[in-house]
Structure 1
Amino acid sequence: MNSDNNYNPKADLDWLLKMAWRDSKASGKRLMLFMASIVLGIAAVVSIQSFGENLKENIALQSKALMGADYKIDSDQPPNERVLRIIDSLGGADAREVSFPSMAVFPNSGDTKLVGVRGIEGGYPFYGEFETVPASVATTYQQSGGALVDATLMSQFGLKTGDSLKLGERLFPIAGSLVAAPGMGGIGASIAPPVVVPYRLIEETGLIQVGSRVDYDFYFVADPGQDLEALDEEVDPQLDIENADMDTHISEGQRLGRRYDNFGKFLNLVAFIALLLGCVGIASSVHIYVKEKLQSVAVLKCLGATRKQTFMIYLLQIAGMGFLGGIIGVLSGLLLQQSFPFVLQDFLPFEVEVGLVPDAILVGLVLGILMSVLFAMGPLLGTWYVSPLQVLRVQENNVQKSRRAIALVYGAIVLFIFGFSLWLLNNIWYAFYFVFAIITVFAVLGGIAKFFMKMVKRYFPHSWGFAPRQSLLNLFRPNNQTVVLILAIGIGTFLISTLYFTRDILLARASIDGAKEAPNLILLDVQTDERETASMGITEEGMEVINSIPIITMRIHQIKDSTVRDIIADTTSTLGSWILYHEFRVTYRDSLVASETTIDGEWPPTDWRDGPIPISLADNVAADARVRVGDRLIFNIQGVLMETVVAHIRSVDWLRMQLNFNILFPSGVLEEAPQFHILTTKTPSETVSASLQRKLVKRLPTVSIIDLRQIFTVIEDILDKIAWVINFIAFFSILTGIIVLIGSVRTSKYQRIKESVLLRTLGAKAKQILHITALEYLYLGLLGSAMGVLLSLLGSYLLAEFVFDTTFAPSWEPMLIVLPGITLLVLLIGLWNSRSVLQSPPLEVLRKEVS
């Protein structure tokens, strides 16, 4: 026998490769399906990685067309003299825009709709184009005084070119439909579709009043070779002090890229889970494969092969299988990414051109080899510790492996998963939580499977019939696949069920409260002299005004002892920047509403008589402003400075469909300040709501109305689309589980044939064996899918309780569709794969001619 010290890997490499190849030719079919499970996971990861990189490149290339200019200056208030001087110093704006939400009235039908008005002057867009029907109106609408109306909106209300719509006090002819435009898209466009009109006619509408939410944008075309990043660094701080902002097409592209990057990271994790699931199948198949090869390993060692040589033969086999799986997975992923632009078209404001991404290809190849080897290493250790005496032993010998070696292998697996998750998420804590969750789910499912087998052994139902008893015995027979199948079935079910439950949570958080007092129609920008008219319009229709909320706009002038200007100039400040620039819309009342909970202090304060005015802050404002109860704040209320003290801090449930405020004042302070009002009511149906909106807009054309039913419909539609995309990726986990299931049956095929022959020798009929097989897979499918649903219920409950802080009301789809559906699927696959078991003659086992 050769000594381990004489082992020379380089000299023996040719022999090792030949041995690995010869052995794999006879045994490759057993591992082929498990390689397919690796292929699916790699295809999912590579396709998402590749498409993500293509998306970033497309955003960078099309960032000018997405903005419509090289850079812009924007503000939510009319630019002051300082801002105008900065604009002039840049050569003057090449185009300008004013935008705000408003109600549009369609005179032909009397219908009304909340729209996003965009008043444009100049040659905007300078990159990209207004895609209109007819095409010519994209450049003539400003001269003709017509309106470009969102194409979907025109279809929804049966509008056509030549019809008219009314914005405020002015009637506009519809010049054409607007199919696409820079800055068009997102949730805002779904709730308030865009209507583009000439800038010069905005004043005639009378829509810009006290409290109106108006954005002012000034667009610029840069000089050739101009350094926009340097310009942004120089000018943006000056604009920040004046409550304005500069955005370049580069920064806008980066912001948009980050938005899709976060969604891509989540999809990557779902795909990564599919890959991990395939690796569980690899570990299981190699475990059975190595068990069957222990005799051959013992023979090789008797003939002089060292433990390193025998180990390397099978390691090279697995690495080769991983490399081949990586190649197929990469090719499949590159093919799959071609479908992504169609799958994600509702989320993308532009067309994406896909191409090859070398990094994604390299990741796929490395993953194929590395994960196959890592997950196969545990079972492969059996070849290292097998004794040459094994060839002389008839009985099965359980090889004792080194605990230290096993610990190193599993440690390496955990470290790899953590490292890959960290690379995907770029956040060490998110990666840690993801790995912890994966280990927990795998551990729970594996523990349940082993516990189930132990309970079946301990409380075996001896009184049952032959077929049921035999099917239970198969769950803990030698070479059983109970643990790996329950893992595969449970993880896939867990993913799909969690997607359903999470969607339910999000919809519940965004849903409209059905209580009698909960409003579903909101009137915005109601001026003080219009409040009575608006209230009468509501009561005349038999409804009541639920809320009449006064709104005062203000900005923070000073925090503690530092003015906002000083804080902005201080580069070491850690305050949230939005606090310094935000125009707060504030109200006054002496009570909290259902969405608010006291954290510190008392509201309303009972000991206030004079001095600074006590106010209540939302916890996010207090945290970003670095203030607590007792600290002083000074507000600028349209030129009047008002000193306040933080008397109360509260948490606010911002996801509730109701009016919430960052800052509350007590009654008796702001009543005489310039203000506008928000009125709310509850309409019993969409028909009544539409009728009331037509009546109110006719009387008060400058008032904007939001129907929360429409917003909820938009949110639900968006969540449905997101769920569909996630399900599309999660399908890989389910498909991987199916392949693991098929492979598990095929890998233990010889054992099954042997059992079948023994049963048939003892007198069992094919029908009985089929009954046994059906019951076994019914148990596995039911247990795995039930555990997946239960774990998903628990995880979703914790998510609702501690993350979303809401009551968890799960849907019935996972119980009524997912659980029985996956159980039936497992049963059918198990029976289909067991056909050859029933058809194998006894002599096949005696001759050991297993295909």
Structure 2
Amino acid sequence: MAWRDGKASLSRLMLFMASIILGIAAVVSIQLFSDNLKQNIKQQSKALMGADFIIDSKQKPSKKVQAIIDSLGAKASEVNFVSMAAFPKNDGTKLVKVRAMEGNFPFYGDLSTEPADAGTKYQELGGALVDATLLLQYNINPGDSIKLGKIKLPIIGALKSIPGSTAISSSIAPTVLIPFRFLEKTELLQLGSRKEYQYFFEDPTIDLSILENKIDPILKKENADLDTHKSTSQRLGKRYDNVSRFLNLVAFIALLLGCIGITSSVHIYIKEKLKNVAVLKCLGASRKQTFLIYLIQIIAIGLIGGIIGAAIGICIQYAFPYILQDFLPFDVAITISLQPIIMGVTLGVLMSVLFALLPLLGTWYVSPLEVLRGSEDNLQKPKKARIAVVLAIITFIFLFSFWMLKDAVNGLIFTAGIFITFAIMAGVANLFIKLIKKFFPSSWGYTKRQSLLNLFRPNNQTMVLVLAIGLGTFLISTLYFTKDILLVKTSIESKKSDANIILMDVQNQQETAILETFKSKGLEVIDNIPIITMRMQSIHGKTVNEIRKDTTVSMKKWILNREFRVTYREALAETEEIVEGEWTGKTTNGTPVLISIADNLAKDANLKVGDAVTFNIQGVLMETVIGSIRKVDWSSMKVNFMILFPTGVLENAPQFNVMTTHVPNKEGSAELQRTLVKEFPNVTILDLRQVFTLVEDILGKISWIINFMAFFSILTGIIVLIGSVRNSKYQRIKESVLLRTLGAKSKQILQITALEYVYLGVLGSLTGILLSLICSQLLATFIFKEPFIPSAIPFLVFLPGITLLVVLIGLSNLKSVLRSPPLEVLRKEN
């Protein structure tokens, strides 16, 4: 019976199916790609690192660390740091990451170069391998030279890839690979230079877990660290897990949107079938039999939809490696695993049934006599049954979100957010209907009045269309507004008080000469900040090594290993605000040294006002007391510090400076950088214009990925929209034919229908945009802590665009009504 009845309604059942296919496709494609990514990371973990394990340190290894390195037999080593490079061919300058390499690295994976043998020859020939993109940008070719500090090196080849680097990191500071023997000659490593020593090991037989447990604690005490290819792949896996969870949530929203379409479609479908159900019951069919006829149809819809969605998902996953290629440090080999496919098919069936249960209950509780009399009371299912179904839906959504997010609280927040959004949109639709009824414009013309009346006619689609249109618009608008908020962080105002050039690692003997350079070019120094490097020696009277051994301490371990860069001054900056204690700007002899720390450091180190901290300042111990805790605006363009000393303490300590200035245009910036790189090659220059152009580009790529996933939600919304409008076609055709029979012209029928869908389109999309405004304001205030200035694009593009789409779909139903005689239309539809 389910098969026979379904064949007669095949075209309508196909629309139900389409509502869920895209959501399943999105979930399956992301699940498949996530599985492939994890598998690739596991298989390529050695190639990603280039070695079995690495020992690294931010300073030259101590005797104990060096003894461990020697005993394990390092086969390659490097010192890497960020510095300025110059190209004599065209006077170009660029911030690069220099990797001074000794030994035959990598042991696994490829050092991809052009020409292909450059990776094996650069050590012997005494030249540099330079990032391929950087060579293209500056029109440099192999055979030209690169200047690093005091030396010039020939460029042996273009570096395409090296284990451990990504396209994003290379775009910020492109890699330059040089032989280790030239490092000292560059004279780039000065006091305060940020550098990293790395030692690479090849030993496939060693038990990395035992090695990590035995060696890592010793290394940490000496401010060094052990990284194995397994631990690195685990960290990388966790990083991409977060991305896949977010994308899964977007796909899940698309799926939920499709389920709304199923609920609405099944509601209309079952309502029209109630007379058939009544006849069956009169002929002796039981409640169970009539219920199962339509339940079997829904299960079939979910099953076929799940299979088609899974098949589309398999195809879509092949696009992800191209979409995410800038964010992946390796090529992903795609394979098909069964688990996501089975999950997708199961999800299709389960969600179809869950969301169809509410309207399906009509077949169970319907009274044959009431239906034959034409009463609609049969649709009022018992309250307990409705509550049970709603609770089942909420429970399922929570369990699914909990499974994706691996966190019960976040799963609960996500579930609550979904239902709050749905409730607001449903509330707006109900409120709109009530307002129309209460303040009905009786003086309007017939077509306008009739179009408003249609919004609350029997079988109206006001609620589901507002939900479908509103949620799709809400998603895309929120993503658009969020991108704007993020881009605010990367905008640089052209005020002279805002620095756009930062000079780091300025040595004391260079300070006067650099100030003269600024003066000669008409530039003002905004900041000239002395920097002193130090480490924490003891906290609360316990040494750092004792704290490391104490398993009861909840302090974040990064504090114990960090080399802090601090400064001293008498007054607070405008980006700082005291939240606890009192600021002391000057220290006098015989009094404790009262320092100020940032609130995030205080939280991670469990420090409060009055606590004692001893610092090791390059071999000299200094006792201090926490005098105040500051809130720091880290998003500002000012140079900020976690630890701030008063004046009168550190003036004679070994130090270097950070200088900032404002250059009005990019030509002046390029000229300044050329001069400084030529005269002061050790000074690192950060051009904020270039950095933020890169950041904006990265945000654009991320936004594109997010919008690609939002596309599933929007497209699902459109399919739900088509399905909802098309499913009301049968009721609307009878109404339109009746209007024609009574003398209505085709133009009037078109106007009535067009106006109705204009109202629905405007109401749904406007609700979605306004809701996204509120959501974006909350994100800006509490998450990004940035001012939010809404863009007009959603109002100018999304609102009219979506409304036009709704109108076109609505009008497409009227072709048969307008082109054929009324009697012919009625006979055809029957």
Residue of structure 1 equivalent to 2:195: 214
SS in 2 for 1:660: coil
Q: Within 5 Å, which residues of 2 pair with 1:317-336?
A: 317-336=297-316
- 2:278/2:372 contact within 8 Å kept: no
Residue of structure 2 equivalent to 1:850: 829
- 2:80/2:97 contact within 8 Å kept: yes
Whole-angstrom distance in 2 between the partners of 1:440 and 1:404: 22
CA shift at 1:595, angstroms?
A: 2.6
CA shift at 1:420, angstroms?
A: 0.5
1:665 partnered with 2:645: yes
Q: Within 5 Å, which residues of 2 pair with 1:462-481?
A: 462-481=442-461
1:536 partnered with 2:516: yes
Would the alpha carbon gap of residues 186 and 616 (structure 1) be closer, same or farther in structure 2, given more than 3 Å must change?
Answer: farther
Residue of structure 1 equivalent to 2:334: 354
CA shift at 1:826, angstroms?
A: 1.6
Residue deviations 1:133-192, cap 9 Å, x none? 111111010111100011111011110111111100011111111111112225432121
Residue of structure 2 equivalent to 1:438: 418
1:141 partnered with 2:122: yes
Whole-angstrom distance in 1 between the partners of 2:121 and 2:372: 94
SS in 1 for 2:325: coil
CA shift at 1:609, angstroms?
A: 6.2
1:783 aligned to 733, 747, 763, which one? 763
CA shift at 1:395, angstroms?
A: 4.5
Residue of structure 1 equivalent to 2:65: 83
Higher mean C-alpha deviation, range 602-611 or range 326-335 = 602-611
1:682 partnered with 2:662: yes
Residue deviations 1:599-627, cap 9 Å, x none? 21122368976343111111111111111
- 1:100/1:118 contact within 8 Å kept: yes
Residue of structure 2 equivalent to 1:68: 50
Higher mean C-alpha deviation, range 481-490 or range 810-819 = 810-819
Residue deviations 1:375-421, cap 9 Å, x none? 01111111111112135314544432111111111111111111100
1:25 partnered with 2:7: yes
Whole-angstrom distance in 2 between the partners of 1:56 and 1:481: 44
Whole-angstrom distance in 2 between the partners of 1:368 and 1:434: 21
1:554 partnered with 2:534: yes
Higher mean C-alpha deviation, range 697-706 or range 584-593 = 584-593
- 1:774/1:827 contact within 8 Å kept: yes
Whole-angstrom distance in 2 between the partners of 1:498 and 1:396: 40
Whole-angstrom distance in 1 between the partners of 2:81 and 2:814: 66
Q: Within 5 Å, which residues of 2 pair with 1:481-630?
A: 481-604=461-584, 610-630=590-610
CA shift at 1:776, angstroms?
A: 1.1
Q: Match for 1:33: what amino acid?
A: L
Task: Give RMSD over aligned pairs.
Answer: 1.5
- 1:326/1:367 contact within 8 Å kept: yes
Whole-angstrom distance in 1 between the partners of 2:100 and 2:651: 34
Residue deviations 1:464-488, cap 9 Å, x none? 1221111111111110111111111
1:131 partnered with 2:112: yes
Would the alpha carbon gap of residues 690 and 763 (structure 1) be closer, same or farther in structure 2, given more than 3 Å must change?
Answer: same
Q: Match for 1:573: what amino acid?
A: V
- 1:31/1:747 contact within 8 Å kept: no
Residue of structure 1 equivalent to 2:38: 56
CA shift at 1:844, angstroms?
A: 5.0
- 1:752/1:837 contact within 8 Å kept: no
Higher mean C-alpha deviation, range 337-346 or range 684-693 = 337-346
CA shift at 1:679, angstroms?
A: 0.4
1:411 partnered with 2:391: yes
2:174 aligned to 193, 209, 216, which one? 193
Q: Match for 1:152: what amino acid?
A: T
1:638 aligned to 612, 618, 634, which one? 618
- 1:489/1:781 contact within 8 Å kept: yes
Whole-angstrom distance in 2 between the partners of 1:282 and 1:507: 38
Whole-angstrom distance in 2 between the partners of 1:186 and 1:588: 38
Higher mean C-alpha deviation, range 584-593 or range 416-425 = 584-593
Whole-angstrom distance in 1 between the partners of 2:745 and 2:335: 57
Residue of structure 2 equivalent to 1:95: 76
Higher mean C-alpha deviation, range 466-475 or range 503-512 = 503-512
Residue of structure 2 equivalent to 1:400: 380
Q: Match for 2:14: what amino acid?
A: M
Provide structure 1 residue ranges, at least 5 long, that are not aligned to the other structure: 1-18
- 2:568/2:645 contact within 8 Å kept: yes
Q: Match for 1:273: what amino acid?
A: I
Residue of structure 1 equivalent to 2:672: 692
- 1:421/1:431 contact within 8 Å kept: yes
Q: Within 5 Å, which residues of 2 pair with 1:782-821?
A: 782-821=762-801
- 1:68/1:127 contact within 8 Å kept: yes
Higher mean C-alpha deviation, range 607-616 or range 594-603 = 607-616
Whole-angstrom distance in 2 between the partners of 1:93 and 1:699: 37
Residue of structure 2 equivalent to 1:281: 261
SS in 2 for 1:212: coil
1:291 aligned to 254, 265, 271, which one? 271
Q: Match for 2:743: what amino acid?
A: G
SS in 2 for 1:446: helix
- 1:612/1:644 contact within 8 Å kept: yes
Higher mean C-alpha deviation, range 393-402 or range 109-118 = 393-402
Higher mean C-alpha deviation, range 598-607 or range 66-75 = 598-607
1:165 aligned to 146, 151, 159, which one? 146
Residue of structure 2 equivalent to 1:270: 250
SS in 1 for 2:525: coil
Whole-angstrom distance in 2 between the partners of 1:658 and 1:307: 73
- 2:370/2:378 contact within 8 Å kept: no
- 2:586/2:648 contact within 8 Å kept: no
CA shift at 1:658, angstroms?
A: 2.9
Residue of structure 1 equivalent to 2:184: 203
SS in 1 for 2:98: strand
CA shift at 1:34, angstroms?
A: 2.4
Q: Match for 2:170: what amino acid?
A: A
SS in 1 for 2:796: helix
CA shift at 1:428, angstroms?
A: 1.4
Provide structure 2 residue ranges, at least 5 long, that are not aligned to the other structure: none
CA shift at 1:59, angstroms?
A: 1.0
- 2:586/2:646 contact within 8 Å kept: no
- 1:510/1:655 contact within 8 Å kept: no
CA shift at 1:23, angstroms?
A: 1.3
Q: Match for 2:644: what amino acid?
A: L
Higher mean C-alpha deviation, range 248-257 or range 650-659 = 650-659
SS in 2 for 1:148: strand
Q: Match for 1:43: what amino acid?
A: A
Residue of structure 1 equivalent to 2:97: 116
- 1:299/1:391 contact within 8 Å kept: no
Residue deviations 1:786-835, cap 9 Å, x none? 11111111100011111122211122221222222212222222222332
Q: Match for 1:374: what amino acid?
A: L
CA shift at 1:538, angstroms?
A: 1.1
Whole-angstrom distance in 1 between the partners of 2:595 and 2:562: 17
Whole-angstrom distance in 2 between the partners of 1:40 and 1:706: 46
SS in 1 for 2:528: strand
Q: Match for 2:728: what amino acid?
A: S
SS in 1 for 2:604: helix
Whole-angstrom distance in 2 between the partners of 1:101 and 1:826: 55
Would the alpha carbon gap of residues 106 and 500 (structure 1) be closer, same or farther in structure 2, given more than 3 Å must change?
Answer: same
- 1:94/1:221 contact within 8 Å kept: yes
- 2:587/2:649 contact within 8 Å kept: no
Q: TM-score, normalised by structure 1?
A: 0.96
- 1:486/1:784 contact within 8 Å kept: yes
Whole-angstrom distance in 1 between the partners of 2:129 and 2:524: 37
Q: Match for 2:209: what amino acid?
A: E
SS in 1 for 2:749: helix
Q: Match for 2:178: what amino acid?
A: V
Whole-angstrom distance in 1 between the partners of 2:369 and 2:469: 39
Would the alpha carbon gap of residues 609 and 290 (structure 1) be closer, same or farther in structure 2, given more than 3 Å must change?
Answer: farther
CA shift at 1:49, angstroms?
A: 0.7
Whole-angstrom distance in 2 between the partners of 1:624 and 1:837: 71
Q: Match for 1:334: what amino acid?
A: I
